[in-house]
Amino acid sequence: MFFLIFKRFVLGLITLFIVSLITFIGVEILPGDACTSYLEREAFGEALAACIKRLGLDVPAYERYLSWAFNVIQGDFGYSLSGQMQINEVLGPRIKNSLVLASAAIIIGIPLALILGIITALWRDRMPDIIISTVAIFSMTIPEFISATLLILIVAIWLEWLPGIVIVPTDVTFFELLPNIILPVIAIAMIMTAHMARMVRSSVIQVMASDYIQMAILKGVPYWKMVFKHVLPNALLPAINVVALTIAWLLGGVVVTEVVFNYPGLGRLVIESISNRDLPVVQALGIILASIYVSINFIADLLTLMLNPRLKTLQTRK
Amino acid sequence: MENSKDIFNEKPKSSLAKALDIVSTMASKPSGFIGLAILIFHIILAITSPWFAPYDYKAINPSLMLNAPSSEFWFGTDSLGRDVFTRTILGGRTALTITFFGSIIALLWGGLLGIFCGLVGGRIDDVVMRIVDAFLSIPWILAMLLIVSLLGTTTQVLIPALGFFYGKGIVRVARAATHDVIAKDFIVSAKARGHSNLSIIWNEILPNVRDAILVEGAMRWSWMLLGFSSLSFLGFGVSPPTPDWGLMISNARGLMSFAWWAVIAPIVGLSSLIIGINLTADAFAKALGIDRSTKAPV
């Protein structure tokens, strides 16, 4: 088991290394470098030469990659172009705000998805399933910016229950942030819950149809004992990895949701840095978002390994 | 995938008859019927709308700013005095066209590379899959925004870029489907007969993995539409004054506290199209006997 975990870890590191290469090469080969996009129409003559010198663009690309990668490993992303600030200082509060948003959505979403998924599977093709599944299809297919806009229109403008737009400074404290995150959390959790509930549903249905559950029914195991003891552990195990992939996939949707609500997180920084053509920040964001994706998947692998009794015995053999 | 083989191998039929069979299976369930109906409605609307649009979509008229829906302007007017009905019925054309061709590109390169990797295996397969994994871990939105902001928002940039970023997931699906058939007798005997890799791919593997890849392509069409609309919404998609739902929603959003019609009309248009494609793709998967519901949307 330890070997498997180690292998997964190394694979994750290799993926991140390739990501760093891709983002670096991508920024290199696309037209315009940091200086031309920063100086725009003044990008010629002395100003351009000075800028190239200052940012060290005159050294060969592979040397720049090495020194950049070396600094990133030490946790230093360099300086941003627009604000002339250290990228770490820009990122810190943004990461915190996005983490608050994402963890709130996950804490609400996962238990809700489990409950809804199990209900729809056990009452398959009957009223509860039909109603919940229809609502789920709507909430998972409608784009984030539409559900977010509708939430603002209905809850904030027509009913006037909650603030529609987040107007707080980036370095706000946790408790000041709390009333502002309710609508964004609902918008993100809606899509996430619908996706996960659907997966739990079909996973439970598959297990319910298996031979050992049929056997348990024939043996006369009480219904709810069978569900909690035999069905759920077997149904939820394969769902963990899929849930992780879904959460990671939704990172893109979080970007859009943050823009709609004007939420000061990583997602809005993506848009701001791209609009300002702040390529060092874009590179840093690429690496950070990819690391989040890789770590979520790694945690899911760990969970699966720990919860799967069949894989525990591998320890003795490996 | 086992079931789908049965559907096709029972008795030889012309491909048209097979296609009609699949469509009638899809339409036999209420969700599939609704999905097909919405999708066909949208396609017909997109093709014919320029002929019956009541007003000019780019005619700006300050005296008609933010009029409520009336018999003259069915869906009201927007902040520049343009007719919302006209812009809504025209608003899906660009998105549908770009994402349709984008999905075809995604299907082609993702499907072929996946089959190739599944067939050859070994070192090449390892390297390609590592690169695909790396691309999967970069959020599509960051990559798309970077490309579009540096290369421009023209169709020539958007179609290949979307096709590329939505094809990498298909590589995995096609590779897994190829792995399922690769050990079967007919592949082994084709290899023993000395057929080339190309001939094996075309004659032996493709017919067996086609269903899985087509279903994946149909799903990806709806995700790509979602992605493209998000780009438009963020101001990195269609350039104004071309009517586009994502852009219309983003423009009308600021004034929605009193001009809700200008934001509701494009929302209904875009949501119904995406739901239609999703329901159709689901029904398509079920008609071919493929269960997609346990897969993550990557």
The whole-model pTM stands at 0.82
> What SS3 class is residue A86?
strand
To probe the interface with A, which of B129, B140, B142 has the most A CB atoms within 10 Å?
B142
Q: Which of residues 211-240 of B touch A (CB under 8 A)?
A: 222, 226-227, 229-230, 233-234
State percent of chain A over pLDDT 70.
81
Residue-wise pLDDT for A238-293, tens only, equals 778 777 777 776 777 788 888 888 888 888 888 888 887 777 788 888 888 888 88
What burial class does residue B159 get, using C-beta atoms within 10 Å of its C-beta: 0-12 exposed, 13-18 middle, 19+ buried? buried
The CA R_g of chain B, rounded to the nearest whole Å, is: 22
Question: The dihedral of CA A23, A25, A29, A32: what is its sign?
Answer: positive
Helix, strand, coil in percent for chain A, rounding step 5: 80, 0, 20
Average pLDDT of chain A? 78
What pLDDT is attached to residue B104? 92
In Å, the largest CA–CA distance within chain A is 86
Residues lower than pLDDT 70 in chain B: 1-13, 59, 64-66, 71-74, 81, 291-298
Q: Which residue has the tokens 């129409």?
A: A41
Q: Could you give the CA distance from residue B227 to residue A315 in angstroms, rounded to a whole number?
A: 44
Nearest CA in chain A to B291: A202
- The CA–CA distances, whole Å, from B294 to A105, A195, B80, B141 equal 21, 10, 46, 24
To probe the interface with B, which of A196, A203, A274 has the most B CB atoms within 10 Å?
A274
Which is nearest to A184 in space by CA: A136, A230, A151, A229?
A151
Q: Could you give the CA distance from residue B102 to residue B96 in angstroms, rounded to a whole number?
A: 10
Instruction: Answer whether A19 sits within 8 Å of B138, measured CB to CB.
Output: yes
- The CA–CA distances, whole Å, from A134 to A114, A151, A186, A187, B119 equal 17, 19, 18, 17, 40
Nearest CA in chain B to A194: B293
Please give, rounded to a whole number of angstroms, the shortest distance from the CA of B276 to a CA of chain A: 10
Nearest CA in chain A to B268: A146
What are the two backbone dihedrals, phi and then psi, of residue A193, each rounded to the nearest 5 degrees?
Answer: -60, -45
Nearest CA in chain A to B139: A252
Find all residues with CB under 8 Å of B284, minimum gap 6, and list them.
Answer: B22, B26, B214, B215, B218
Query: Which residue type is seen at A54?
Result: R
Residue-wise pLDDT for A147-188, tens only, equals 888 888 887 777 777 776 766 666 666 676 677 778 888 888
A54: pLDDT strictly greater than 50: yes
- B135 touching A, CB under 8 A? yes
What ipTM score was computed for the predicted complex, to two decimals? 0.79
Find all residues with CB under 8 Å of A46, minimum gap 6, and list them.
Answer: none
Token couple for A189: 């959790």
- The CA–CA distances, whole Å, from A76 to A71, A113, A280, A293, B233 equal 5, 38, 11, 20, 33
List the beta bridge partners of residue A79. Answer: A86
- The CA–CA distances, whole Å, from B175 to B103, B116, B142, B178, B182 equal 18, 8, 26, 5, 10
Instruction: Answer whether B135 sits within 8 Å of A22, measured CB to CB.
Output: yes
For residue A16, the chain B residues in CB contact (below 8 A) are 134, 137
Q: Could you give the CA distance from residue B277 to residue A301 in angstroms, rounded to a whole number?
A: 33
Instruction: Answer whether B139 sits within 8 Å of A141, measured CB to CB.
Output: no
Please give, rounded to a whole number of angstroms, the shortest distance from the CA of A254 to a CA of chain B: 10
